[in-house]
Chain A
Amino acid sequence: MVIKNLGQYSPHLAQYTELRSQENSVLNIAYVKGNLVQNVKQSTAGISARVFCRGSFGFASSADATAITEVIAAASRNAEFLDARENKGRAPFTPDNPHTERSFGTKKARLTQGQIMAFVREIDAYIAKTYPTLSSRTVSLSCIDMEKTLVTSDGASLYSLLPRSNVRVSLSVDTTGGPVEVFEAAGGLGQFEDNFTSPEALFETIDKLHAHLIRKSEGVYPTAGTKECVLDAALAGILAHEAIGHTTEADIVLGGSVAGDYLGRLVASPLITLVDLAHTFDGKDCPMPIYIDDEGTAATDLAIIDHGVLQGFMHNKQSARHFGVKPTGNARAYEYFDEPLIRMRNTAILPGTSRVADMIASIDDGYYLMKPSNGQADTTSEFMFGVVLGYEIKGGKLGRGIRDLTISGVAFDVLKSVTMVSDDMKWSNGGMCGKKQLIPVGMGGPAIKCKINIGGR
């Protein structure tokens, strides 16, 4: 349980200090081929403090909620240990003291464990009954509530409850070339009661997924080489996050990212505007709304690329001071025992004016790539993503399904090749980003038409 009145400890914050109380509550249920292989509840709660002493940070945490003053003292000792040896002599940060309280918890009555389990079991039973020839199926539910309070020595304060709940279904069939698998996830921001009304509401999604599975199982391996492709929203989102977003995190820029040389330069087609949104887009909550970050900075939208021109980097207080700009509210920590790092929030390419059907019709020989498995990128913006769902495009029409493949390229080059951007916007909101710590993020956007390198067999 989080401590709501952390402000009472302000007199103990002698140096620049962030004091946080946080609890992450997790529920995971998973059925594999009808067997319940995961049925876990987890709660991780505690207190942390981070102290800034003349340019050196000290951090300490404890699960003991009564040990607040001890945690502050331990963080101070750690900062002073480093300061005594490094002697950087830097000034404190410019004070900032925003306040907010935001809860995205449900207002509905909470369901019992039995009702939630029955929901998941009913989805599994539907798949087993409707599609008896599958070689395997997995149905899983992942729920996390991140609840925290934060105060800083500058007077900022935050209470937030950020819940996320996702159902994930994967289906497999055996083929002569081995098993073939597809998956789909539903849900996003919000607790289970707000995201899932009845199992039947997911049946249509499962039916569509099965249709994709059959076409994929009858499908072909793609031909390796550079092809014109339509990347659907999920892939455009992971491109924005992995291949551009990470290279524009200020700590990665300081670590040598290629984006450090590109500020103010044309790095993408003028059709591309790529943003890291704080909390709201088009009047709606983003998948991971951040109003105040874990350093106590009011979170603001950041235009990373504006009509093709690289405009800015994501910052925490320290990197913002280094670059002489205002912090953007990108400092986020996952668990109570984690220090805030520069992280993305809701990264997306903004919609254009084309229709997906027209984008497909404009390609004579290429691929429509719909769903990524995972992705990686590095400081050069060279990336690779696994693609687990897609189709050939032949003569402007969708053709055969394609087997698992990997796409790769240099992200800034790929974005320069964009010739069409669709007019819709889809978020994928089950993603966790890894960078020392995990953190839930939102990513999304429209579909884009571009040239990309296909890894075949």
Chain B
Amino acid sequence: MKDTLTLCSEYLTDAGVDKFQCVLTERKHHEMNLEANEMSLVRTNVDSTLNFTVIKDNRKGDISLNSLSSDSIREAVHTAVELAGVSQQDPDYDISPQQETAVFCRGPAQPDTERMYAVLKGYAASVPTIFPKVKLAETIFSHTVVTKRFINSNGVDYTTHKGVYTLVTVFSSKDGTKTSSINYTSFSLCELERELLDCSSLRGLLQQSVEHLDAKPMRGKFVGDVVITPDCLSDLLSYYTSVYLGDRALITGTSILKDKLGQVVSSPKFTLSARPTAAEIADGYFVTPDGFAAEDVTYIENGVLKSFMLSLYGANKTKRERAKNSGGCWVVEPGDKGLVEIIAGIDKGLLVARYSGGNPSANGDFSGVAKNSYYIENGKILYPVSETMISGNLADLFKSIKDISAERIDFGAAILPYVHASGVTVSGKE
């Protein structure tokens, strides 16, 4: 019996399409769940998904299905050709050119279920002991192994085997009728050597959750300094790259950085890379969605914009260069000051641990609540704040960076420091 991709490519060739790409993804997922600090569920999923794209007469259609019988694939090919046939012509649709066939491997291929249970149970036991006021809400500890094969009609043939453990944990604290804001974090691991509490930023976030039982509104309003934590920086980087560097921002022309390639767009202290193939990244990737071998890319180097984050289509459409990866796996270079030293230099500011806000507008204006955050005065953290808002502009924020911490948090899917910036409007209660 022919394998799924061979069958699919034969049907596509028979259908007379000009170009195609096919991706077969086989996924085995094993997870254990804590609910209200109690082991509640073991869940396993096995799935195979076939995605393919056809281009005919510069018209394109995309299909995804997980029923992989020959009849289902034949029907899906017919549907894809129909989808393409009614779409508009666009000469910028394309697939990746021939590249050397390669196989990529990363991470554990099988879950160690006994060890998974032991470390999750250890986490569930440790939290009430060390942080008795913390309430664990939803906690999901999973192992996922994905085998993905990418082929296209130009002869590209990539296979990726990737296994990774991931923890997602959501928590708050409660003491009598006092309740702290909810907080959460997630991180990825290739090995289960350490206890979960000792990974990433988890222990510090749980401690902060307890401290936020006594959060109070900040009074008044000021424009000043903020220190953005690594957890919060992760969200802001997603906004920044989407609003200024991605396909939609460049195709629509709304990015205010669209003419800034090679120019200074941020503080010279800021260097941002996406390193999906680096050994230090547990949850990376090796092939882009449009069929290129991913490379590690520095997007901003010492404040200078070195690359947009354009796919093949985005690059063709905007007549710019394609990015050598599809972003994510962010690594920000560390600075030379410790967090304590950075905070010691701030007269009045906010340690921003989580941004709960609306999506930034097309020019990068943002406005939201600074959750799980702390008021800083005269070089010291004074108290945890509630009902405190921050607003500003993303481009201005990254231009205003004064310092970057020497410490960084390894999330498995990113490695990020604390960032000290200025010019943010901080408003508390009147």
| Residues of A bordering B, CB below 8 Å | 1, 32-33, 35-46, 56-63, 65, 74, 78-79, 81-82, 85-86, 112-114, 117-118, 121, 135-136, 138, 172, 177-181, 224-226, 251-252, 254-258, 261, 337, 339, 372-376, 378-380, 382, 384-388, 403-406, 408-410, 435-436, 453, 455-457
Contacts and interface: CB of A to CB of B under 8 A. Distances in A.
A62 B40 contact: no
Contact of B44 (A46, A56, A74, A382): A74
A386 B366 CA distance: 9
A339 B41 contact: yes
A57 to B, nearest CB: 4
A455 B356 CA distance: 12
A255 B138 contact: yes
A113 B86 contact: yes
Nearest to B430: A225
Interface string B19-61: 0000000000000100110011111111111000000000011
B42 A82 contact: yes
Majority DSSP secondary structure for residues of A touching B: strand
A46 B47 contact: yes
A337 B121 CA distance: 24
A378 B179 CA distance: 10
Shortest beta-carbon contacts, A-B, top 8: A386-B358, A178-B363, A255-B137, A256-B135, A378-B182, A78-B42, A136-B252, A114-B86
B132 to A, nearest CB: 13
B27 to A, nearest CB: 10
Contacts of A251: 35-36, 137-138
25 contacts: A32-B251, A35-B92, A44-B65, A44-B66, A45-B67, A56-B42, A57-B40, A59-B42, A61-B45, A62-B47, A74-B44, A78-B44, A118-B86, A138-B252, A178-B256, A254-B36, A255-B137, A256-B172, A261-B179, A374-B359, A376-B356, A384-B357, A386-B357, A386-B358, A403-B361
B378 interface: no
B140 A63 contact: no
B34 to A, nearest CB: 10
B174 interface: yes
Contacts of B253: 33, 135-136
**What is the interface residue range for chain B against chain A?**
35 or more
A58 B79 CA distance: 37
A355 B136 CA distance: 44
Nearest to B48: A63
A419 B177 CA distance: 27
Interface of B: 32, 35-36, 39-49, 60-68, 79-80, 82-88, 90, 92, 113, 117, 121, 135-138, 140, 170-174, 177, 179-182, 221, 247-248, 251-254, 256, 313, 317, 356-359, 361-365, 367-369, 371, 386-387, 389, 391-392, 425, 427, 429-430
A251 B34 CA distance: 11
Q: Which residue, of A37, A45, A86, A378, has the highest number of chain B Cβ atoms within 10 A? A: A378
A121 B362 contact: no
Nearest to B209: A256
Contacts of A181: 361-362
A387 B430 CA distance: 21
B148 to A, nearest CB: 16
Given A57-B40, A256-B173, A380 B45 contact: no
A379 B179 contact: yes
B62 to A, nearest CB: 4
Contact of A404 (B113, B254, B313, B367): B367
